[in-house]
Chains A and B, each alone.
Chain A
């Protein structure tokens, strides 16, 4: 700024038009200033940019792709000891078991949808480490806005098998009161904002929540929002990135880049350097890492969390992974990708297998105990399914509640109308399935 002012005074003293910008830039005042300001570009829209005298295309290929941070390889070996988060055995074991729990629950609920017992399901196969690793690095007070494939974050925070399964059944124990499709979880207690289906909508909301937290005295809380690389194409993602950057919001934009949005490969989703590559365009920090490596995810999230809270600035995190799952139970992914690709990700590159190798190396893995854990989890999930199936659905009148905080007159009238109708036509409605 001071240089700009001095340049102006130089210009003001001249009686004729300056001979050239180059000439001006060689004067004494310039020598104390960084070279970039020397060309005197004063356009407010890009006040750091300099002039050049030949046109220079800024080509995407001239930009180095953001590297993928990794802590351990697929045999559980940590390449650089300084990057070992040195988590204690109990923590690592919880990470492993939470990933296993998620994986086990997914397999059974997927099958139960296939048997027509629940209407819909989405598994998390291949992305377990990105959920658990990031959740472990957060404070439980941090708010989470998710997309729908982040159930592991809830597992880490203490959402129980019965919480998950009751939501999928929409029974009277579901805190969401049976109003949304399966896997649309939410928990006030665990600071996990209820999932909704429209993609990308949660991302600017997360920025708004982070802004509100920032203004609270002694704020120690940030916000993390998860989304896939497909959702990153939505306008809301652009809105969120730009709002968070310009309004200095302590929010982490956690992109799960798993290579596919339903059938659309990421090559048809964008042409730039993934999602992390967009951050600099918004003036944001970015970090890309191996989302199948629970330690890389943990370290990255921890570093990012410290950064956003210290600076009150946002960051883009990009967890690279592979969606081993079909998109959902309504999708057969063999229709658009080869089975061989899947095989690699399902075995040597699988997040659970990587952590298992690490634990074996540390002598922390007890085959028998873990097999027992899987068996016990299976049993628990199956018995919960039986139980959840038997719990009645909420009172059907819940259909009218919570549209507003208080029910307005017209909704009361509509509820009464339905009550009278149901009373007269009982046989045509599944009343026995609902709490009376």
Chain B
């Protein structure tokens, strides 16, 4: 973790109370317009919440429901640099919600040990960019615990949370989307929410799941994404994609913030090109919902995959290869990937780096005109 991380976090999550939300989005997330879910995932009373509030509520529920549950990481005690753990230490005590020393491999190893005993561990990596020191613990240890021990031991009750993705000015180490590194690791489950409802439901699903999970939370949505969220506990299934918009001409696949870009692009394509887009939020990177994706592509005959992470070795490659194998006879044009470039994530060039709506729309044109 760097000094910069906190500075950035403060700007993103900090006291911007008086800044109108539209302006906030313009300033920090100009490449997308948040689109709230059409309906709440379950019946019952709802509350207007942004994403950090929904995550906070999910952790509150997890701590309430499981006496053994612990929340820890760097700076979580005072509420977290993104406010996700606000009020939890006060409510559940210093032994259950606490700061750790600044050491990601330690956080991951410690979390695995907690989970070995059957207790629930909800561990935070302050930024997904700083998860790499914990890579060994996550890939060699957490992911393989059950397998290598013949199911004598496991760490299934652990969940890692990590803020990820572009934020407007995060540069090399406050913007990364490392999901593809983990997608290559059997034994892990990896999910990315697109907004408050999904964040709450996925986090609770991960906490209650019996395999080690990573939730990558697009940090630009913490405050920008606001919608009605059920107050009660609920889970969103891991491994299940959401078809957010049905269409007939092309399937657009993405996850996290990119979903909001794709939704806008679908509107633009309809208006400008009379192209009907089906938009799929993959939600779960590992395991991923092949059935939903391939059924859609078999119907539309075309696919465009968009993600913020670099092209080469990105998760789009896995999707494209599978679509090609499963939908070969249905495809009317090559599967196209619109992604970040194969460079580190830059500072002042961010508008030229990200797969924004203009690049995605140009991509649709290319696929449709093929």
Binding site for B on A (CB under 8 A): 143, 145, 174-177, 179-180, 184, 186-188, 193-194, 196, 198, 201, 203-213, 215, 223, 235-236, 238-240, 242-243, 246-247, 401-405, 408-411
Contact = CB atoms under 8 A, between A and B. Distances in A.
B109 A402 contact: no
B136 A194 contact: no
B106 A402 contact: no
A177 B189 CA distance: 23
Contacts of B173: none
B95 A215 contact: yes
Given A201-B109, A201-B141, A209 B148 contact: no
B150 A179 contact: yes
B148 A201 contact: no
B141 A196 contact: yes
A208 B112 contact: yes
Given A212-B119, A404-B146, A205 B110 contact: yes
Contacts of B119: 212, 215
Interface string B111-151: 11111110101000000000001001100110011111111
B150 A174 contact: yes
20 contacts: A184-B148, A194-B145, A194-B152, A194-B153, A198-B140, A208-B115, A208-B121, A210-B113, A212-B70, A212-B114, A236-B109, A242-B103, A243-B100, A243-B106, A247-B98, A403-B186, A404-B146, A404-B187, A404-B189, A409-B290
A305 to B, nearest CB: 18
A411 B187 CA distance: 11
A204 B155 CA distance: 14
A238 B290 CA distance: 42
Contacts of B153: 186, 188, 193-194
Given A198-B136, A239-B109, A409 B287 contact: yes
A242 B103 CA distance: 9
Nearest to B187: A403
B68 interface: yes
Contacts of B95: 215
Nearest to B104: A239
Contacts of A209: 113-114, 116-117
B144 A196 contact: yes
Contacts of A408: 239, 287
A201 B140 CA distance: 9
A170 to B, nearest CB: 10
Nearest to B110: A208
A207 B287 CA distance: 30
Closest 4 CB pairs of A and B: A208-B113, A204-B109, A239-B106, A194-B149
A201 B116 CA distance: 13
- The main secondary structure of chain A at its interface with chain B is mixed
Contacts of B145: 194
Contact of A242 (B101, B108, B210): B101
Interface of B: 68, 70, 95-96, 98, 100-101, 103, 105-106, 108-117, 119, 121, 133, 136-137, 140-141, 144-154, 156, 186-187, 189, 210-211, 239, 287, 290-291
Nearest to B100: A243
Nearest to B149: A194
Contacts of A188: 152-153
B116 A208 contact: yes
Nearest to B111: A208
Contact of A405 (B103, B149, B154, B290): B154
A236 B109 CA distance: 8
A415 to B, nearest CB: 13
Nearest to B289: A409
A269 B136 CA distance: 22
A204 B152 contact: no
B315 to A, nearest CB: 14
A196 B101 contact: no
Contacts of A193: 116, 149, 153
B148 to A, nearest CB: 5
A236 to B, nearest CB: 6
Given A208-B116, A239-B110, 17 more contacts: A174-B150, A188-B153, A193-B116, A196-B141, A204-B137, A208-B113, A208-B115, A209-B113, A212-B70, A212-B117, A215-B96, A223-B113, A235-B133, A243-B103, A247-B98, A402-B151, A411-B186
Contact of A176 (B70, B96, B137, B148): B148
Contacts of B112: 204-205, 208
B150 A402 contact: yes
Q: Which of B112, B113, B136, B144 has the most CB of A within 10 A?
A: B113
Nearest to A188: B152
A186 B149 contact: yes
A204 B147 contact: no
A211 B114 contact: yes
A240 B109 contact: yes
B287 to A, nearest CB: 4
A208 B114 contact: yes
A176 B187 contact: no
A205 B150 contact: no
A389 to B, nearest CB: 20
Contacts of A186: 149-150, 152-153
A403 B146 contact: yes
A136 B301 CA distance: 68
A405 B117 contact: no
Contacts of A409: 239, 287, 290-291
B136 A176 contact: no
B140 A206 contact: no
Contacts of B109: 201, 203-205, 207-208, 236, 239-240
Contacts of B150: 174-177, 179, 186, 194, 402
A196 B143 CA distance: 12
Contact of B101 (A246, A403, A405): A246
B136 A201 contact: yes
Contact of A175 (B100, B113, B152): B152
Contacts of B105: 204, 235-236, 239
A205 B141 contact: yes
A194 B152 CA distance: 8
Nearest to B158: A208
B106 A204 contact: yes
Q: Which of A143, A145, A408 has the most CB of B within 10 A?
A: A408
